Structure 1
Amino acid sequence: MTDLFDEPLAGTADPDQDRANSRRRAHRRRQAKRRAQRRRNLITFIVMIVAIALLIGGAWVLIRPMLAGDGAATETISDYPGPGTGEVQIVVNTGDTGSDIATTLVDNDVVATSGAFVQAYSNNPDAVGIQAGTYTLQSQMNAADAVAALLDPASRSDLTITIPEGWRATKIYARIANRLGVTEEEVATAAAEVAASYLPAEAGGEIEGWLFASTYTVQPDSTPTSVLQQMVDLTVANLDERNIPAEDRAELLIKASIVEAEVANQDDWDRVARVLENRLAGCTGDGTLGMDSTYAYGLNKIATEITRTEWQTEHPFNTRIVPGLPPTPIGAAGPGAVDAVLNPPEGDWCYFVTVNPTTGETRFTADYDEHLVNQQMYRDWLAAQTAAPEETTEGEG
């Protein structure tokens, strides 16, 4: 029986061959794993490269606005030693960033490179305070000096023109003439042209009251015409902002100009606006405003110089005699007076008197007898200051 196992069974593999086959299969599996791992490593590497590229691209998008010019990232940063020569006028526009200013300066050879200015801008904590405007700088300045010059008001070559509330047009002409270095006649001529061809139709060709009280920045090449148009534009913009219909604008400006002229204390503007409405509605019985400021404008003199005879003379601006509003505004109104006219408080006041012009104390009342007492208080104040001219009457509203 044992002899039966001395020969290999039919179909049975050689053990050595099986081991060899097994080793080959294991080797192939290891090779496949290594190939799979290499593929995974390659994919991971590619994903990492793409992610880094995206990060770099995103950073470039964020950093680029802070640098000047398309090639600012690779620009060799160099700087002029200064102090600079000659004069160069440059304009900083509203909303300009440090890189925007740098580009302007490089284009005008004020600084050597955008990078130098951006660095100097970043190193100066006050640089964010650089204002829009026109500046006179020098060619080939050191970048840090250029930043300092832009922060120095003395470098500004543009002009500011401030128009206080209540100023009449002729006084505004004088201010414009003085600031632009021209004659008042030139400004008056320009005003006539603006009134004829630039004013909105609702102004009726009258420029008075359409020159808004504000501070204006004008350029060195500005003309009287361009400055006057800027003032008219601001008036229109303020009326547009408040959604005032065109047909109501002239009347609104007349009322606001009276409010400006009648009292110095802005806290009283709203009550003066209410008195105007109450008088126009007939609280005095005859529909007259009785405002000294309107006739003073019409006669081009101060109210205390108006004589009794003049007060008794009919005149379009003599609102003690002629009912209703005067034909035009009597000066430049600001936004505060406009808003007071648009929203006067409720009240029955029909009279008011500034009893002490020094302090601006003004008393309002609906009672005429009380108004007479307030008038006497004003006369007492006036007598304490100086003797009143024989033929004048007191200022009152």
Structure 2
Amino acid sequence: MRARRLAHERRRARKRRFWKRVRAFIVLLLVLGLVGSAAWFAWTQLTGDQTQSAQSSDDYPGPGVDPVDVTIEQGQSGADMGQILVDAGVVKSVDAFIRAFQANKAASSIRPGTYTLKTQMSASQAVAALLDEANRSDNTVTVVPGQTAEQVADRIAQVTGISAADIAAAMADTASLGLPEEAGGVLEGWLAPGSYEVGSADTPTSLLSQMVAGTVAELDRLGVAAADRQTVLIKASILEREVNIDEYLPMVARVIENRLTKPDAETRGLLNMDSSVLYGVGKTGGVPTVDDTEDDNPYNSYLYPGLPPTPIAQPSVEAIEAVLHPADGEWLYYVTIDLDTGETLFATTLSEQEANVQKFRDYCSANPGKC
């Protein structure tokens, strides 16, 4: 019995010693945890102050001092922009600008262009200023569907300040512009509509090359064979100048096809398009006069059957698509009878057309100065 009691006491003693060691270990862990937390807090406070101090030292407080113009080019990154602003004295460091750029979710929408900012701006203020269109100069060349190449050249001159003579020289060097052979050395119709940002390194050649490349890419996308490109653009350019409501484009495209493919019809293979007549006498709008319709030039579709020798304007994608997919119909004629609404009527015979034309004359009588 005594031996069993002694063994029992020994076991209890061992358990007490074990739990005593466990408690001591837990206490030690708690102490180490507290010490570690205190050390970490002290370290983060120290490094945080240092980081904050470092960040504030590489950034201006703002709001800025003297006006300065800077140019942001197409495709530049936040780091690229930061370097430009540092070089111009706008922000203090590229790092500060990158931080502000990354912190502003809208920063990726900063557009190319020339901006009026200030020297010694804070990086965040600089980003905000670049997002404000009021600070951005208009240095965009916009090609509008229906414009002639001459009008595009005028716009390039207005935006860039480059002389008309230099622009004309660039337009004449069509090989440098990448103009396809089938264009016959004439840019008309090959300058893709759209907006083109002008960078500091841009020239008339670089801008015009972009426009030509845009047209080639669009024709390729639509599956137009190289041999058909010029014909498609000629037809589409006429559509662009003849129609001001897209829903009529496929219908007028069918009229053009019917007149070209039915030489024995009443129209005798003549397009009779006012737009080409006006182009031939150097006009860009209005209604042709009797003298205009009698002027002997290859664009006078009242005198010469078939298509004019070149496009007469820059066509939209919608006009090109209408040429490729004309509506079904037997129409040979059409006339816009209301220049305010664009309402257009179609006819298959000359007598029907004459009745529709009278409606246009009535509109003109009721609206002096509009026709």
| Category of TM-score, reference length = shorter chain | 0.7 to 0.9
TM-fit CA distance, 1:222: 2.9
CA RMSD of aligned residues (A): 4.1
- The residue aligned with 2:294 is 310
Distance 1:230 1:308, change over 3 A: closer
TM-fit CA distance, 1:366: 1.8
Contact 1:84 1:142 in 2 (8 A): no
- The residue aligned with 1:328 is 310
Whole-angstrom distance in 2 between the partners of 1:327 and 1:141:
57
The yes-or-no answer on 1:169 pairing with 2:149 is yes
Q: Which digits, 9 at most, give the CA deviation of each residue in 1:155-188, with x for residues without a partner?
A: 3356112222111122222222222223433322
Contact 1:211 1:228 in 2 (8 A): yes
Contact 1:157 1:220 in 2 (8 A): no
- The residue aligned with 2:140 is 160
Pick from 48, 72, 92 the counterpart of residue 112 of structure 1. 92
For residues 1-397 of structure 1, the aligned pairs below 5 Å read: 76-78=55-57, 79-82=59-62, 83-85=64-66, 87=68, 89-91=70-72, 93-94=74-75, 96=77, 101-102=81-82, 105=85, 110-113=90-93, 116-118=96-98, 120-121=100-101, 124=104, 126-157=106-137, 159-194=139-174, 198-282=178-262, 283-284=265-266, 286-301=268-283, 302=285, 303-307=287-291, 310=294, 313=296, 315-386=297-368
State the SS of the aligned residue for 2:70: strand
Whole-angstrom distance in 1 between the partners of 2:95 and 2:355:
73
Distance 1:77 1:101, change over 3 A: farther
Contact 1:351 1:364 in 2 (8 A): yes
Whole-angstrom distance in 1 between the partners of 2:293 and 2:200:
48
Q: Which digits, 9 at most, give the CA deviation of each residue in 1:201-245, with x for residues without a partner?
A: 111101111122222211244333322222222212222222321
Contact 1:105 1:111 in 2 (8 A): yes
Greater Cα shift, 222-231 or 103-112? 103-112
TM-fit CA distance, 1:249: 0.6
Distance 1:105 1:374, change over 3 A: same
State the SS of the aligned residue for 1:353: strand
Whole-angstrom distance in 2 between the partners of 1:247 and 1:335:
19
TM-fit CA distance, 1:326: 0.6
Task: Flag structure 1 segments of 5+ consecutive residues without an equivalent.
Answer: 1-29, 31-71, 389-394
Percent identity between the two aligned chains:
42
State the SS of the aligned residue for 1:363: strand
Distance 1:111 1:196, change over 3 A: closer
Whole-angstrom distance in 2 between the partners of 1:92 and 1:112:
20
Whole-angstrom distance in 2 between the partners of 1:374 and 1:104:
62
TM-fit CA distance, 1:292: 1.3
Contact 2:271 2:307 in 1 (8 A): yes
The one-letter amino acid paired with 1:363 is: L
Contact 2:142 2:194 in 1 (8 A): yes
TM-fit CA distance, 1:251: 0.6
Q: TM-score, normalised on structure 1?
A: 0.71
Q: Which digits, 9 at most, give the CA deviation of each residue in 1:333-375, with x for residues without a partner?
A: 1111111111222222221001112221111122332111001
Whole-angstrom distance in 1 between the partners of 2:165 and 2:327:
42
State the SS of the aligned residue for 1:307: helix
- The residue aligned with 1:38 is none
State the SS of the aligned residue for 2:334: strand
The one-letter amino acid paired with 2:207 is: V
Task: Flag structure 2 segments of 5+ consecutive residues without an equivalent.
Answer: 1-17, 19-50
TM-fit CA distance, 1:379: 1.7
Distance 1:73 1:240, change over 3 A: farther
Q: TM-score, normalised on structure 2?
A: 0.75
Instruction: Count residues with an aligned counterpart.
Output: 344
State the SS of the aligned residue for 2:335: strand
* Larger Cα-atom Rg: 1
The one-letter amino acid paired with 2:313 is: G
TM-fit CA distance, 1:101: 4.7
Contact 1:195 1:206 in 2 (8 A): no
TM-fit CA distance, 1:96: 3.7
Q: Which digits, 9 at most, give the CA deviation of each residue in 1:257-282, with x for residues without a partner?
A: 00001121222111111111111111
Whole-angstrom distance in 2 between the partners of 1:271 and 1:217:
35
Distance 1:363 1:95, change over 3 A: farther
TM-fit CA distance, 1:109: 5.2
Whole-angstrom distance in 1 between the partners of 2:177 and 2:109:
39
